[in-house]
Amino acid sequence: MAQVIKSPDIALQHRRILLLVSLLCFLLLPSQLWALTNDNCGINQDREKFSACPAFHEEDSDDKLKGDTMPVQSATPESPDSDPGTRAAESKGHLELAISVFNQAAKVTPENFLISPDGLFRALVPLLMGATGETRRLLQSCLGDKYSEPSLAAAPTATSSAQDEYFISNTMLLSSELEVKETYRERLKEVNVDIRDNINFFDRVSLESLANELNKLFSQLTHGMVPQFCYADQWSPATTMALINSIYFKGLWERSFNVRKAGVFTLPNGQRVNLDRFMEDEISSSQYANHNDWQAVTVPYQGAHEMILVLPPKGIMPHEISAEIIMALFASLNSEESCPSCSKISLRLPPFKVDSDIELSHFLRKTPLHPLFTSPLELGAMLSDTLVAVSINMVHQHCAIEVNEDGTRAAAVTHIALSRRADMSKSIQFNRPFIYVLHNKITKRILFIGQTLDPRSTSE
């Protein structure tokens, strides 16, 4: 047999190939090990296995921002936005809807409050995925392309306190009377929606148990920031479906604030009060914007997020802001022309905590989404029996936020309930003064016309 003698060039090429293969194996191995050790971390696993997730651990309810790490758990980490300028690319419908709901809620809420538009929109995503016809067009126009095909991150990875985190979880409750298409069910699994079938919304005892279980789960997912949001009496016997979304955010400031011991804050009624602490820092001119005396500053976190603080003109309340003002401020921020005469700007901000529990249905009924509450939803991509007429009857949200000199923690749980349309049929009750007309259908003549002011006065 002839011996093959390799030239030095060929041997060198082979060594390079072997080195490349070894490097690829080294890079791919950790992800494979993660997949093998993370079987119990998915949202679709049994709740008894939840704590078995190798990277999950419970945190103290008063966990500190500084040095705290976010545990990988039964929620999907949201990938950072690939484009830092996504503010400008945000769907106009999405932005206008968010500001509209905020404005309406702020007008009637004479206290600190908080809503999560992203939590609301993400809770609606399973409906968008199953909607057809006019319902899909309506949701698409308000949620925009960003929410049309929910993009979830790859397998969870170990997290670092040097980056901000945004974790998302979705659960769907289905009554036994709804038959969901398998194609739709598979799509929900692909985006990690936990589906719970055969819920008996007539059984108060089982609903109490379910509410307790969900409260425990979502308290864990929000690190105790939303310890209880669900109650059995929120579900009527006519309930056919419930959608629950939770989000959890934790971020450290790109640069921590200094703390000043005291400062003065002016309340809406003009009263000036002393606060124990104020946070101080200097920001660059590109972090400042002014539009018609509405001022805004942006304070970045160490990751892909930022907090934008908006100060209304004197004498103007926050609820008077509009989508146009927000868009103008967003467009000016991070622009060198926002304050060309300023080199540095002094920023003072009080640390604050807000815990807010709010029913959003009343406000959403005054937005373009109102048909979701008043008309049967078209869910042809979701339900096998499209004759089952359902519509939304409740949108409840519990939010919490903590802001201090180190950074921010925030969480929200959004609960949307859908009921059979039979409960929402038009009803008219003659239980107040009324008119009556005796009419000939052929001649169109009115034979009698009268009024009844008090039925008790009718003579025998």
| Structure confidence by residue, pLDDT tens digits, 89-104 | 445 777 788 889 888 9
Residue predicted with more confidence, 60 or 102:
102
**Does residue 264 register a pLDDT over 80?**
yes
Q: Secondary structure of the chain: what % helix, strand, coil (to 5)?
A: 30, 30, 40
Tokens of 451: 């009024």
Round to whole Å and give the CA distance between 393 and 138: 17
- What are the extents of the domains in the chain? 76-253+352-424, 258-349
Mean pLDDT of 345-360: 89
Confidence at residue 407, expressed as pLDDT on a 0 to 100 scale: 92
Name which CATH class applies to 76-253+352-424. alpha beta
Alpha carbon distance, N-terminus to C-terminus of the chain: 126
Q: List Cα–Cα distances, 144 to 90, 92, 192, in angstroms.
A: 8, 8, 21
Cβ(449)–Cβ(436) under 8 Å?
Answer: yes
Q: How confident is the model at residue 294 (pLDDT cuts 50, 70, 90)?
A: confident
Confidence at residue 432, expressed as pLDDT on a 0 to 100 scale: 72
CB neighbours of residue 403 within 10 Å: 22
What's the length of the chain? Answer: 460
**Does residue 273 register a pLDDT over 90?**
no
Angle separating helix axes 117-130 and 92-107, nearest 10 degrees: 130
Strand order, beta sheet including 258-260: 258-260, 278-284, 344-349
Mean pLDDT of the chain: 75
Nearest to 244 by CA among 361, 122, 374: 122
Confirm or reject CATH 1.10.599.10 for domain 258-349, answering yes or no. Answer: no
Q: HSE, CB side, 13 Å, CA atoms: give it for residue 7.
A: 3
Residue keyed to tokens 């937005």: 367
Confidence at residue 13, expressed as pLDDT on a 0 to 100 scale: 52
Mean pLDDT of 55-78: 46
Tell me, what amino acid is at 307?
M
Tell me, what amino acid is at 227?
P
Residue predicted with more confidence, 312 or 64:
312
Round to whole Å and give the CA distance between 283 and 360: 36
**Does residue 40 register a pLDDT over 80?**
no
Percent of the chain with pLDDT over 70: 67
**Does residue 198 register a pLDDT over 60?**
yes
Q: Spell out the residues 6+ positions from residue 402 whose beta carbon is closer than 8 angstroms to its own.
A: 65, 225, 353, 408, 409, 410
Mean pLDDT of 282-292: 88
Lowest mean pLDDT among 59-73, 192-206, 354-368, 431-445: 59-73
Confidence at residue 420, expressed as pLDDT on a 0 to 100 scale: 82
Q: Spell out the residues 6+ positions from residue 21 whose beta carbon is closer than 8 angstroms to its own.
A: none
Q: How confident is the model at residue 72 (pLDDT cuts 50, 70, 90)?
A: very low
Mean pLDDT of 180-199: 89
Q: How confident is the model at residue 437 (pLDDT cuts 50, 70, 90)?
A: low
**Does residue 41 register a pLDDT over 80?**
no
268 DSSP 8-state letter: T
Mean pLDDT of 357-366: 92
Confidence at residue 74, expressed as pLDDT on a 0 to 100 scale: 55
Residue predicted with more confidence, 425 or 329:
329
Is residue 420 classed as helix, strand or coil in its secondary structure? strand
Lowest mean pLDDT among 361-370, 380-389, 402-411: 380-389
**Does residue 62 register a pLDDT over 90?**
no
Q: Spell out the residues 6+ positions from residue 83 whose beta carbon is closer than 8 angstroms to its own.
A: 89
Q: HSE, CB side, 13 Å, CA atoms: give it for residue 157.
A: 9
Mean pLDDT of 286-314: 88
List, in sequence order, every residue forming a beta bridge with 311; answer none if it has no partner. 295
Is the pTM above the cut of 0.85?
Answer: no
Q: Spell out the residues 6+ positions from residue 222 whose beta carbon is closer than 8 angstroms to its own.
A: 246, 248, 400, 411, 412, 413
**Does residue 79 register a pLDDT over 70?**
no
Confidence at residue 5, expressed as pLDDT on a 0 to 100 scale: 36
**Does residue 149 register a pLDDT over 70?**
no
Lowest mean pLDDT among 7-11, 93-97, 162-166, 260-264: 7-11
